[in-house]
Chain A
Amino acid sequence: MDLKSYIARRLLLAIPTILGVTLIVFFISHVVPADPALVWAGGARARPEQVEQIRQLYHLNEPIWKQYVIFLSDLVRGDLGISPVTGRPVIEDIKTYFPATLELTIFAIALAILIGIPLGVLSAIKKDSPVDHSTRIFALSGYSMPIFWLGLILQLVVYYYLGLVPDPGGRVNTQVYISSEFKTYTNMYLIDSLIQGRFDVFFDALQHLILPGFTLAYATAAIIARMTRSSMLEVIRQDYIEFARARGLPERVVIYKHALRNAMIPTVTVVGLSFGGLLAGAVLTETVFYWPGIGRYMVGTINTLDFPALMGGTILIALVFVIVNLLVDILYAIIDPRIRYG
C-alpha cells in the first residue's frame, strides 16, 4: 500500500472514532442539572422571554437525542454553530485560540526532544557516571513535579528574582504587537514574525514562549531521556554495532547514526503515547501563564456551559489525536523499514 492511500484509509477510519467522542461528550455535558439558557442569558437577572428565546434558538426544548441529531446535521455541513457566550462562530474562536496552543505544544515537543535525546544518549554511553546520575535525578523530578507548581516556581525564579524574561503572561508584549503593523497569517507568532522579517516580534514571542514551553516540555523530556537511555543500552549490545566498529567506523558514526536510529523506534512510540499527557499539561500551563490557547478556552466553555464551543473544541482535540497517531505510525515506518503500512 502506498503512503497516500494509507493516510486516506486511516483518516476514514478516524471518522467513527471522532463521532464516538462527540457522542460521549455531548450526552455527558447535556445531562448536567443546570439550565444553560439561563446562564447564557445572564443568570437570574435575565428576562424569562429572553431565556425562552435562547432556548428556542439552541433547540434546548427538544429531547436530547434530537439535539444530537441537529448537532450532527450541522456538523456535516461544516457548521460548528455560534457560541452563545462570545457571540462569535465557534470556528472563528478556534482559529483564534488553537494556533496559540499549537505553537506552545510544538515548541514544547521540540524542546523535549532537544533536551531528552542528547541526555538519554549521553547517560547511556556514560552509564553509571555522574552524567548518568544527574540525568536520572533530572528525569525523576520531571516525572513527579506538578506542572502548575513548576510553572509558578519558574515564574518566581526566572522572572521575579532573576529578571531574565519579560512579564510572564500572554504571547507577546502588547506594546510591540499593537504599535506596529504586525499581520497574522497563521496566528503562530514565531512563524508570522519570520514571514514578515520582524525579528523584534520573533524574539519577544520567543521570550514569552520559553517558560511555558519548558514547563510543558519537562515531563516529556524526562520520559524521552529515560526511554532513549534504556533503548540505547539495549541497542549498543547488538551485533551490528560491534560489526560497525569492526568495519572501522568512528565511534561518533556508530553511536549517532547506527545506534541512535534503532534506539528511536521505542522512543517514538513513547512520545506518541505521551502526547495525551502533553495536551492535558497544556491546559494547566495555559492557565498558569495566562496563555490564550484552546485549553483555557475549553475550561471556560465548561464553566459557562457553552455547548457549541465545547463540542467544537472536542472535535478539534479528537482530530489532533488522530493526526498525531497517524504521524507517529508514519514516522515509525520511516525509521524502521521492517514495518510496512498495513
Chain B
Amino acid sequence: MDTVSTGDIEKLLRVNELYINFYTYEGVVKAIDGVSFDIHPNETFALVGETGCGKSVTARAILRLIPTPPGKIEGGEILFNGVDLLKIPEKEMLEYRGKKISMIFQEPMTSLNPVFTVGDQLVETIALNQKVSKEEAYNIALKMLERVRIPDAENAMTKYPHEFSGGQRQRIVIAMALSCNPSLLIADEPTTALDVTVQAQIINLMNELQKNMGTSILLITHDLGVVAEMSDRVAVMYAGNIVELGTTSVIFEKRYHPYTQGLFNAIPVFGKGKQTRLEEIPGSVPNLLYPPPGCRFHPRCPHVMDICRKEKPELIELEPGHYVRCHLYR
C-alpha cells in the first residue's frame, strides 16, 4: 500500500495517489508522481520543498485550476468531504471554488484585478458565492476588511489595488478568500513576496483567523520558519513525491529522510559566529522531463545504495502518523 492513512480521524481533504503530467514541446514533464496526504478539520498542513518540486501544481489540482492542455491529471482522487473533485462536472466545481475551498497566491501585487476597485471585487465574490444582495454583500465585505485590519474600510472599498501596499493587498486577498467562510484555505507561498516584518504580520493574521473561523489551511512554502510558526503537520516534497510526512515537531526533531536533513541544514543558523555558511544540498533539482529512475532523490543523496537507483521506495510508517519514503528504513 502506497497511501497515507491517519486512522479514524475525520478527514476534510484526502489527496490519494495523484499523478499529473505536462505535455510540452520538449516532452512529458512528470510533475506529480503519486502524491497522497490528508488534511484534518481545523489544522494547518504545510507542504514544503524546493522550487519546482510540485507544490503549486498539487494546490491548483485541488481546485482544478491546472491549465489543460498542457497539464493533465493522469490518475488519483481528490476527496473533499468524501466527494471526488476530479469526477464532478466543471459547473459543480463552482460550488467549491471560493466557497468551500479558497486559494491565495504568492504575488499579492498581481492577485487583484488592477482595473476594478477592491470593493467591486470583494462584493462580486460575496454576492456570487453566497447568493446575497449587493447591499448584504457590501456589509459582509466591510466586516471582512475590518477583520483583516485594513484601516478605514469604507474608504478602502472605493480604492483600486495599486493604491495599497503589498502587505495590505495580501490582507485584502485573504479577506476575499475567507469572505465565504471556506472550510479549507490553500495558501500558496502567501508571504514569500513580502518584507520580513510584513510576513510576520500576515502569519499572525492567518493564525488568528484560522483559530476564530475554524478554517483548515494547506500552507505551501519553502520557508521552514513559516512552517514552524504555523503548521500542525508537514509534508516534505521532492521532485513530485512526498518523501516525509508527520507532525511538525517530529519532522523538526527527527528528520528521517536524507532530503529533509539536507533541507534543514540549508537554513542559515543565526548566532553561530558571524559567518554562518549555508550547507547546500549538493546537486540540483532533477529535470522532471527525465526524472531519475528509482528514488528521485538518489543522485543527490549522501546515503545512496544500489536499490535506490532501481526501485522507488514505498512510504513507510516509522512512528504512528509519521511516514518516510526511503530505502534506509526498510
Residues on A facing B (Cβ under 8 Å)? 238-240, 242-250, 253, 258, 261-262, 265, 335-338
Contacts and interface: CB of A to CB of B under 8 A. Distances in A.
Nearest to A338: B162
B176 A247 contact: yes
17 contacts: A239-B105, A240-B112, A240-B113, A242-B105, A243-B104, A243-B112, A246-B97, A246-B103, A247-B97, A248-B97, A249-B128, A253-B124, A258-B113, A261-B113, A262-B113, A338-B114, A338-B160
A261 B120 CA distance: 14
A240 B124 contact: no
A243 B111 contact: yes
A336 to B, nearest CB: 6
Nearest to B126: A247
Nearest to A235: B113
Given A247-B97, A337-B114, A242 B65 contact: yes
A337 B98 contact: no
A248 B129 contact: yes
Contacts of B113: 240, 244, 258, 261-262
Contacts of B114: 240, 262, 336-338
B98 A248 contact: yes
Given A238-B110, A240-B113, A258-B116, 16 more contacts: A242-B105, A243-B103, A243-B173, A245-B97, A246-B65, A246-B105, A247-B97, A247-B98, A247-B102, A248-B94, A248-B128, A249-B124, A249-B128, A261-B115, A336-B114, A337-B162
Contact of B115 (A239, A245, A249, A335): A335
A250 B65 contact: no
A265 B104 CA distance: 26
Given A240-B111, A243-B105, A338-B160, A249 B125 contact: yes
Nearest to B161: A240
Contacts of A335: 115
Nearest to B180: A248
B177 interface: yes
B115 A262 contact: yes
Nearest to A247: B98
B52 to A, nearest CB: 18
A77 B96 CA distance: 69
Which 3 A-B pairs rank lowest in CB-CB distance, beginning with the nearest?
A248-B98, A248-B97, A239-B110
Nearest to A241: B113
A146 B162 CA distance: 45
B107 interface: yes
Interface string B111-135: 1111111000000110011000000
Nearest to A262: B115
Given A239-B111, A242-B105, A338-B162, A248 B125 contact: yes
B73 to A, nearest CB: 16
Contacts of B125: 247-249
A335 B97 CA distance: 28
Interface string B167-190: 000000100110010000000000
Contacts of B176: 247
A238 B102 CA distance: 18
B99 interface: yes
A331 to B, nearest CB: 13
Contacts of A249: 98, 124-125, 128
B63 A246 contact: yes
Nearest to B173: A243
Contacts of B63: 245-246
A102 B13 CA distance: 62
Interface in B140-194: 160, 162, 173, 176-177, 180
Contacts of B160: 337-338
